[in-house]
Structure 1
Amino acid sequence: MTESADPSAPARPSVDPAEIAKFSAMAAEWWDPTGKFAPLHKFNPVRLSFIRDTAAAHFGKSGLVPFEGLRLLDIGCGGGLLSEPMTRLGFAVTAVDASVKNIKTAMTHATAQGLSIDYRHGSAESLVESGEQFDVVLNMEVVEHVADLSLYLAACAKLVKPGGIMFVATLNKTLKSLALAKIGAEYILRWLPPGTHDWSRFIEPKTLKALLTENGLSVTTTQGVSFDPLNWSWRLSSDTDVNYMVVAEQAR
């Protein structure tokens, strides 16, 4: 039995209602480090460090709260696992998700933490229509879930200010990723609920970088991320066969 599409999902070409319904059904578990999003909680430290260090170098920032005065968009924010630490680093954060249940979970948690985050139920297209632009756009573990990748990235590129940067994290389309990120993670280790990912939607780095370039962005970094089973943690690596992150810059 499959879940029905979320009727609250924004009617936009890049939004896949079935994918939104899938994550809406798990919305209450976003902040449970031992629940269905446990892999993201494990993954969070390495991606947070990468975002912080890369953004600090790009904008020439330092200190405990280095990003005051800069706007950040967390698109496909889920329960706010990235939005909250980015706010603590000084960014004025706008966080958008196509699932209203995710947004409600994120808002409730942020309020309990005393954090001011501009959470919105919406899409990349709706932000473009309202003329929004940001110094940093986080596009983390989202692109493999959208209905139309080209349209989605075209919209996201328009949201990056001149001189701003976009981070994209996703899964490579390789036999290794099929074995580890799909079959292993979902059906053997049970790190993720079966059906969380569709391997046919995984994206090769060359495809992702070509789409970003077509939309006026310059790719500056391609960074692999690997799981270390001995330390049971994630680390940056040269291996992009499964998980990888790309940084792209908007011309000034």
Structure 2
Amino acid sequence: MTETTVNDAEISKFTAMAEEWWNPSGKFKPLHKFNPVRLRYIRDHLVRHFGRAANSIRPFEGLKVLDVGCGGGLLCEPLTRLGATVTGIDAAQRNIRIAQIHAEQAGLEIDYRATTSEALVAAGERFDVVLNMEVVEHVDNVPLYMKSCADLVAPGGLLFTATLNRTARAWALAVIGAEYVLRWLPRGTHDWNKFLTPDEIRSLLTRNGLSVVDQTGVVFHPLADEWRTSPDMGINYMVLAERPHAEKAGG
């Protein structure tokens, strides 16, 4: 294939920080803070969509989950503990090695691969759940990337997308505030011009055969020191889409 979603500058940036993935006080501290709200959102919708027992210790037994741009495995590990068969992919080899080492130390079996979503599509792979969390704003060729993520969703499966809205508030808070004032993130982590609006994400999803079934904003509550879902999608937001079941023969 000649087309690719890989942005070499972005890969280099995250490779340089790879050793920090599992340090909750390090460069990925904001992501560690953000992880509980996105994991809760994923878990609640998987339980509801696939009819699993909410009080089960391993409710996702038998589900194949793909985490695209998995980094060090912050979502892969808890989902594996919840019973899912998890594949984590990342274009940065160093990220994958860090994820593999951490999973081995935790006694978890996770299929980590240094590859891309478009390569998995070319190999004909499909998953019950595809996670596209905080990745689309870091790739090249967004239409190809979103198409590849959608193509990886099996009939009846789900695609979760989380990203940043291209608004003045997102520029002020997620870029200037988080990177330059509060220094939550290293400078240059985000390029506001690569943020996508919810309308753009929904259009890319529906164009590729998926139906949007839910969306939510995510906001930070400083007094509680935690992220929570919210109707406000002006900065961070998540969109959930489903691939309809294949039509029955003769139906």
TM superposition score category, shorter chain reference: over 0.9
In structure 2, what residue type is equivalent to 1:211? L
Aligned length: 243
Once residues 223 and 92 of structure 1 are traced to their aligned partners in structure 2, the CA distance between those partners, rounded to angstroms, is 26
Which residue number corresponds to residue 41 of structure 1?
Answer: 32
Aligned pair partner of 2:194 in 201, 208, 214: 201
Aligned pair partner of 2:235 in 226, 233, 242: 242
Matches of residues 67-216 of structure 1 in structure 2 within 5 Å?
Answer: 67-216=60-209
Which residue number corresponds to residue 54 of structure 1?
Answer: 45
Which residue number corresponds to residue 7 of structure 2?
Answer: 16
**Superposed displacement of residue 159, structure 1:** 0.3
**SS in structure 2 at match of 1:77:** coil
In structure 2, what residue type is equivalent to 1:60? G
Once residues 2 and 30 of structure 2 are traced to their aligned partners in structure 1, the CA distance between those partners, rounded to angstroms, is 29
In structure 1, what residue type is equivalent to 2:74? L
Q: Where has structure 1 moved over 6 Å in runs of 4 or more?
A: none
Once residues 244 and 225 of structure 2 are traced to their aligned partners in structure 1, the CA distance between those partners, rounded to angstroms, is 39
In structure 2, what residue type is equivalent to 1:96? I
Is the Cα contact below 8 Å between 1:12 and 1:123 reproduced in 2? no
CA shift digits 1:82-114 (9 cap, x unpaired):
000010011100000000000000000000000
TM-score, scaled to structure 2: 0.95
**Superposed displacement of residue 11, structure 1:** 7.6
Root mean square deviation, CA, Å: 1.0
CA shift digits 1:132-187 (9 cap, x unpaired):
10000000000000101101111111100000000000000000000000000000
**SS in structure 2 at match of 1:67:** coil
Is the Cα contact below 8 Å between 1:223 and 1:240 reproduced in 2? yes
Overall identity of the aligned pairs, in %: 59
Once residues 30 and 12 of structure 1 are traced to their aligned partners in structure 2, the CA distance between those partners, rounded to angstroms, is 29
**Superposed displacement of residue 251, structure 1:** 1.1
**Superposed displacement of residue 13, structure 1:** 1.6
Once residues 193 and 207 of structure 1 are traced to their aligned partners in structure 2, the CA distance between those partners, rounded to angstroms, is 27
TM-score, scaled to structure 1: 0.95
The range that moved more, 190-199 or 59-68, is 59-68
**Superposed displacement of residue 231, structure 1:** 1.1
Is the Cα contact below 8 Å between 1:169 and 1:245 reproduced in 2? yes
